[in-house]
Amino acid sequence: MMILPPDGGCLCGAIRYRVSTPPLQAGYCHCRLCQRSTGAPVLSWASEISINLTTLDEPAAIVPDHHIWTSSRIGWFEVADDLPRFAERGPVSPNQPKETGLGE
């Protein structure tokens, strides 16, 4: 559940934003692009607005509900939840996850 309107921004404060509609999806991405751009093994994100959830002032305001691109998951980073996992891109609709096993 998302509490509207969550605000967010960058570390230096030069960029601020407000989310005005609930995201269509929220998940964790393990792809190499996200790993390289954030310097972290996984990125929590929401679409269609494409925001990094950790840039929200209240990062828990939007809760990820699946993992995508687990085919790129780094071996030493273990995921300790039971959320659906997808080896590549995720579900088309957030309400119709199409689980593909462990996705790895």
- Residues of this chain that interact with Zn ion (CB under 5 A) are 29, 31, 34
Closest distance between Zn ion and the C-beta of residue 69, in Å?
A: 6
Please say which residue, 29 or 46, places its beta carbon nearer to Zn ion: 29
Closest distance between Zn ion and the C-beta of residue 5, in Å?
A: 25
Cβ 82 vs Cβ 58: under 8 Å? no
Closest distance between Zn ion and the C-beta of residue 4, in Å?
A: 25
Cβ 87 vs Cβ 71: under 8 Å? yes
